[in-house]
Structure 1
């Protein structure tokens, strides 16, 4: 397997490159060639790596390690048949070389034959004492197969072999998360921390698990220990700030977000959270300051534009809210969240035609939320376009077929449109779905409550639902 290039001295590399420039022929030990090849492969210099393999095999034609490196390059270039032929040749000479199985597994993996790759790696485990890399490769193969339970066990084995292997630790947590086994992950991380009490990575991940279970105080304690273990761990300050926000401790959250800015270049996310905290505290000028910095730092962050728009909307400054959401739309007109927000602003400004257009754009871009259908129908109702409002609700009910709110609204619009037969059927259905929401219908369409057939239908449904 290729090693990190910084493990190699530069002397052999300089000597090799000097040979290439002068056309002189220098002799290198096979181990020197391995170092040179690893250096080039790890730095993406494949052509130089291939040149080193060629010259290396000319000088050391029986070197197994150089042949295996040639196999690695052939597999990288998807020359699987040539790689397999060379592996067959190597295996006739040295059957008990685990690297043969690893390279065969790599080829099977690249061919999407992941179970075959797993079988080969399991064979490799039987003939080697150095199993860390094989367990790591097994974990990745199991991930390709969506077998998160087995992947978790493989990465756990890596952590057992090397408890400082944080990459495998992250993968263990990822598997627990995917399996939604937060309790199991919490137990595992606590057990790990009993052995490694100053591991900031484990404390950070433990805090995230507690946060997933809404155990805010436990999460806060974990993030505190992450910061104690490494007082420059920016991620822990971020997460701690998020927990403090949820606990309503906004001033403390601000301190943590400000810590991240003082340690590294400020991020749009840090500015956004600072703006949210100051807005909660009523520090509106500071909130605006940080929201403006958010969108300046990252104009593509939709949460930034939505935050500054919501801020002005909350202040009932609809003109400013519209200005900022339109700026967002000019940057990313394919974002359905922006169009939905624009529709809400237009509605507040009684600009129903523009609100109708904005909701149409939002839906065409994939926003199918319940409130979108409900509010769009309300906009069309305000215009008096009951036919279009009815069609919108029919579309919405395709996504939410048993939603009583949409069904009551559809019945009311049919009544307004003088479709009495359809109105009776739909109103009856709405009351059967949820008779308790009838009050909403009465409030929205009060002109129909005293109609005789409506009163009779209500009475009938109430009797059958008792």
Structure 2
């Protein structure tokens, strides 16, 4: 709900209203002033003040339909849909040709997931409006309803209608490209953007989006050119420099990538993304001193960015400085103890350092947090075997087998565990399963259970399987 408003008059009304709230003196405002005050507070998200203005406005202008429509908007925001419906029904009797009534009704229907009904209602509103701005707003609402229903082709068509009415409606442009992306129509998106750029050659947003489409198709030469045009159109466009940096990285032009990322640091507040990418580039150039400096800057800039902590940990891992790697992954875990990637690295580093109890704890936590990769189950099982915790290892492998049934690596380990526990019948069962699944993997028994591999019955089962396969 937008109103034409004089900034000076509006500011005066706001100052007068807020002064009144502080002094508890009741002042009179005309209905237009209340409308502008309420609209202002809704725009900046101060709902409590908007509600106060609505209450006071309706107290002074009880017959104002516009103020009552604001009340409907508040009801919808607060999910008081029944009250909103009731008030709208009353307003419909007063002004059946008021398009805002249909727009608010559509909003209620949308909240109830009745998106097709919301679209039908917005179509009625469309017939009642008399300005292009309002028409574009309703097209955008219809487009969003189609998005909610995953009808991306229809959504795209309505966002294109918005763009036809206002070629600088970048929200519509982004939504159009989102639809093309979801429909995997990258070539069609490129054609659309090129047509748009024929009429709007200095649209940095369109050039930026065109570059991203070329990136998806791995056409890095054209992508780089598109980002160059975005920068020519607006040489302060940080997003274009970032994307160009990523393209240059793909082309292994690390020095040029660093230059583009550094421009973003000069144009705006440093971002952890740019700092991390610079660190990665220096890492690839084997300039390890500068690489680690930028990794440090990344985690200082954004301690919650997991990619930063992972980068610095992996950096020291590659340098075989496992103590430092462990130090930094511990710092990361202290900041976010529910990050599964941190725990996986924690487990792997402790494993390399032969801190078996800590490594086992790390793998267990990784599994508890939902990382069910096969190597996680196997690594934890192997550590438990080394620690002599055969029953715990067997339980871990049985749980893993629920996710990876008929997996030779699991079967051989279970065979070795049960033979070690002198449960030969179970051991034989799992050994035969392993040999059926992959006879080449029987070396697992020799590596993890050297004593079991010398067992006469175990050797006999393996020899029999070999003869059968020949």
Cross-structure match for 2:466 = 458
2:264/2:270 contact within 8 Å kept: yes
Cross-structure match for 1:110 = 111
Extract unaligned runs of 5+ from structure 1: none
Q: State the TM-score, normalizing by the size of structure 2.
A: 0.84
Extract unaligned runs of 5+ from structure 2: none
List per-residue Cα deviations over 1:306-363 (Å, max 9, x = no partner): 1111111111111111111111122222222222111111111112122112111221
- Once the two structures are superposed, the pairs formed by residues 227-306 of structure 1 within 5 Å of their partners are 227-306=231-310
Take 1:295 and 1:200, find their aligned partners in 2: how far apart are those partners?
31
Match of 1:54 among 32, 55, 58: 58
**2:100 pairs with 1:99:** yes
Cross-structure match for 1:388 = 392
Cross-structure match for 2:177 = 173
Greater mean alpha carbon deviation, residues 204-213 or residues 49-58: 49-58
Take 1:409 and 1:195, find their aligned partners in 2: how far apart are those partners?
67
Deviation at 1:15, TM superposition (A): 5.2
Cross-structure match for 2:141 = 137
The verdict on how the C-alpha distance between 1:455 and 1:295 changes in structure 2, with shifts beyond 3 A counting, is: same
1:8/1:35 contact within 8 Å kept: no
Q: State the TM-score, normalizing by the size of structure 1.
A: 0.85
Take 2:435 and 2:194, find their aligned partners in 1: how far apart are those partners?
52
Greater mean alpha carbon deviation, residues 274-283 or residues 239-248: 239-248
1:370/1:396 contact within 8 Å kept: yes
Give the 3-state SS of the residue equivalent to 2:61 in structure 1. Answer: helix
Deviation at 1:218, TM superposition (A): 3.3
Pairs aligned (count): 454
- Once the two structures are superposed, the pairs formed by residues 37-436 of structure 1 within 5 Å of their partners are 37-43=38-44, 44=46, 45-47=49-51, 49-50=53-54, 53-54=57-58, 57=61, 61=63, 65=66, 68-76=69-77, 80=81, 83-92=84-93, 94-129=95-130, 130=132, 131-414=135-418, 419-433=423-437
Deviation at 1:433, TM superposition (A): 4.4
Take 1:440 and 1:105, find their aligned partners in 2: how far apart are those partners?
67
The verdict on how the C-alpha distance between 1:438 and 1:173 changes in structure 2, with shifts beyond 3 A counting, is: same
1:53/1:69 contact within 8 Å kept: no
Deviation at 1:112, TM superposition (A): 3.8
Give the 3-state SS of the residue equivalent to 1:451 in structure 2. Answer: helix
Take 1:286 and 1:122, find their aligned partners in 2: how far apart are those partners?
59
Cross-structure match for 1:8 = 6
List per-residue Cα deviations over 1:412-456 (Å, max 9, x = no partner): 555555554444444444455456x54865884696499232122
1:415/1:423 contact within 8 Å kept: yes
The verdict on how the C-alpha distance between 1:40 and 1:269 changes in structure 2, with shifts beyond 3 A counting, is: closer
The verdict on how the C-alpha distance between 1:93 and 1:292 changes in structure 2, with shifts beyond 3 A counting, is: closer
Take 2:105 and 2:437, find their aligned partners in 1: how far apart are those partners?
60
Deviation at 1:216, TM superposition (A): 3.1
